Amino acid sequence: MNCSQKDVLNIKDLCVSYPHSKKWVLDNFTLNLGSGERLALLGSSGSGKSTVAKALLQIIPAGSICRGEILLNGNDLLKKPNEALHKLRGELIGLVFQDPGTRLNPLMTIGEHLMDTLHSHQPDQSSSFRRMRSEELLKKVGINPQRFNSYPHEFSGGMRQRVAIALAIALNPPLIIADEPTSSLDVAIANQIMGELSFLCDELGSSLLLITHDLALASRWCSRMAILDHGKIVEESPTQNLINYPGSCLAKKLVDAAKKREGAAFEVKPVAKTILEVNRLRCWHSLGGMPWKSNWLRAIDEVSFSLHVGETLGVVGVSGCGKSTLCRALLGLIPIRGGEVNLLGTNLAKLKGNHLKIARQSLQMIFQDPFASLNPKMTVLETVSDPLLLHGLATKTSAKEQVRFLLEQVGLTPVDYFINRLPNHLSGGQQQRVAIARSLSLSPKILICDESISMLDLEIQADILDLLHLLQKDLGLAIIFITHDLSVASSFCHRVIVLDQGKIVEEGPAQQIFQDPKSLLTKELIRASPTIFSPV
């Protein structure tokens, strides 16, 4: 690839190896980025995407090997002394992290974060100037300057990500790196965030390097894509060319997985028998107030629906609509304020002791973050056998045989390779398969999947959806599939309910809702859901 005078970034033959490892995480990595261009860097987990960002910022661990050439506006970053690198981070490169909640200091106000960044790079400017600039930045990212003294925990995930963008653009850098900036956000908020980030890059004339595993997101916001596999660029081309005519094996897999994810619904027909009936369920949280005038948050408010044997019911909505509260209420993890949850005709609220314990075996959960849901000190064998032992359904000897069967069932073969491994020795997809095996150990009738694929790569998402579909077919499982992505729900679910502020605003067959939405919220969710056919 030829370097251009208009290029902001030129990376040539970059090789990176971490301490105590003989493996090159980046192997002769070469990439150019033009002025004002938006480029997506895509790849599976472990491909080296985040290492690219770390190498650009020179924040790789001490003892790592980093060689090659990184030119940013003509400056060779690998030859910069440490004191110069401090100015680099912020003035030449702005970084938007994946999870702003873990990057913002909980003891500092939002304003203090901005003021601190400006003071660090512009110590000669007056405090009043920095205050004015901070308020201007908040306005640019859609936050009322009156929230200057708010703390990060007082902001939603979307608002925290807006703060991260404000910090990234504070010093008008020529290059902004966004590392999975929307993976923890619902599609409506993610669409807003990417729209604002793209607009600000255009306004500043900054180039954008979007690091992501989401092909659909990349196709909507970037004009060029580069596919990274095992530390090497295996394909690079304009977005629509790559989608329409993928050349590398990995690009073909990503495009096929995206099409499958957005394709027709699975041909699984539920039976007429109702397994779960929810009637006028209410989950209200007290927000205090005067005794004669209590203030309530109506997280779930008069929600009613049914679930049939072998059916997948999608529950869709933006962050804060009540999806997770509904999960917890169905599992009996939070008290309900009214209504009924009937499992096979039995009201769970009327069960106590051992009867309730047995009934709860029929409802099992698969969580959003597979790694966080697994005990890091327990092996796969211990994790999957734990429910069996807790419920007294097996001895240690018989539990081991059941675990072997379950691991085969979820595709973790050869079993002997996985059974004694710890979670940190597994990939994200393998961790989620362990979580699924654990949920199946009690022979449930209903699986509740709470955003169970949102943190996985596109290929792994397709694999997990295929697995759930196969398990449903073989075991007759009913599935409640919680998601913020209506395009996934439309292809995987039989029916969908759309939640908004604790109420159902639309309900019907998945494909019908996707093709002919009625409520304003459903229309917005469909518009915000990126597909590989979205215009750039």
289 and 245 in a common domain: no
The mean pLDDT value for 310-337 works out to 88
CA distances to 99, 370, 371, 379, 404 from 375, rounded to whole Å, are 22, 10, 8, 8, 19
pLDDT single digits (tens) 20-73: 878 899 999 999 999 999 999 998 877 888 899 999 988 888 889 999 999 998
pLDDT bucket at 271, cuts 50 / 70 / 90: low
pLDDT single digits (tens) 159-178: 888 899 999 999 999 999 99
119 and 139 in a common domain: yes
pLDDT single digits (tens) 136-159: 999 988 889 999 999 988 887 778
355 and 310 in a common domain: yes
On whether the CB atoms of residues 153 and 165 are closer than 8 A, the answer is: no
From 232, 261, 290, give the residue that closes a domain. 261
Please state, in angstroms and rounded to a whole number, the distance separating the CA atoms of residues 365 and 432: 12
Please state, in angstroms and rounded to a whole number, the distance separating the CA atoms of residues 472 and 464: 12
The mean pLDDT value for 430-455 works out to 92
On whether the CB atoms of residues 296 and 318 are closer than 8 A, the answer is: no
From 428, 443, 458, give the residue that closes a domain. 443
pLDDT reading at 233 higher than 80: yes
Concatenate the DSSP letters of all residues of 291-342 into one string: TTEEEEEEEEEEEEEEEETT-EEEEE--TTSSHHHHHHHHTTSS--SEEEEE
pLDDT bucket at 532, cuts 50 / 70 / 90: confident
Which residues have C-beta within 8 Å of that of residue 319, sequence separation ≥ 6?
156, 157, 158, 185, 186, 189, 484
Q: What percent of the chain has pLDDT over 90?
A: 53
pLDDT reading at 535 higher than 60: no
Which residues face 277 on adjacent strands?
306, 342
On whether the CB atoms of residues 227 and 251 are closer than 8 A, the answer is: yes
In a domain, residue 296? The reply is: yes
pLDDT bucket at 495, cuts 50 / 70 / 90: very high
252 and 280 in a common domain: no
In a domain, residue 397? The reply is: yes
In a domain, residue 267? The reply is: no
In this prediction, residue 261 carries a pLDDT of 67
Which residues face 26 on adjacent strands?
16
pTM score, whole prediction: 0.76
Residue 40, Cβ density class (10 Å: 0-12 exposed, 13-18 middle, ≥19 buried): buried
Please state, in angstroms and rounded to a whole number, the distance separating the CA atoms of residues 317 and 20: 45
Q: Based on the structure, what is the number of domains in the chain?
A: 3
Least confident of 13-22, 56-65, 264-273, 511-520: 264-273
In a domain, residue 266? The reply is: no
**What CATH number is attached to the domain comprising 255?**
3.40.50.300
pLDDT reading at 199 higher than 60: yes
In a domain, residue 214? The reply is: yes
On whether the CB atoms of residues 96 and 177 are closer than 8 A, the answer is: yes
The mean pLDDT value for 456-468 works out to 85
418 and 318 in a common domain: no
Concatenate the DSSP letters of all residues of 187-214 into one string: HHHHHHHHHHHHHHHHHHT-EEEEEES-
Helices and strands counted in the chain (H then E) = 19, 20
* Rounded (5°) CA angle 371-374-375: 120
In this prediction, residue 328 carries a pLDDT of 87
In this prediction, residue 2 carries a pLDDT of 44
What is the overall mean pLDDT for the chain? 88
350 and 248 in a common domain: no
- 3-state SS, 412-439, equals CCCHHHHCCCCHHHCCHHHHHHHHHHHH
519 and 500 in a common domain: yes
227 and 125 in a common domain: yes
Q: Which two tokens stand for residue 526?
A: 């469909």
pLDDT reading at 536 higher than 50: no
Please state, in angstroms and rounded to a whole number, the distance separating the CA atoms of residues 237 and 223: 9
516 and 390 in a common domain: no
pLDDT reading at 458 higher than 90: no
210 and 67 in a common domain: yes
The mean pLDDT value for 309-335 works out to 88
Owning domain of residue 187: 7-261
From 236, 261, 286, give the residue that closes a domain. 261
83 and 162 in a common domain: yes
In a domain, residue 269? The reply is: no
Spatial CA neighbour of 451 closest among 423, 511, 410, 492: 492
91 and 165 in a common domain: yes
In a domain, residue 43? The reply is: yes
In a domain, residue 270? The reply is: no
The mean pLDDT value for 474-481 works out to 94
pLDDT single digits (tens) 379-430: 999 999 999 999 999 999 999 999 999 999 999 999 999 999 999 888 888 9
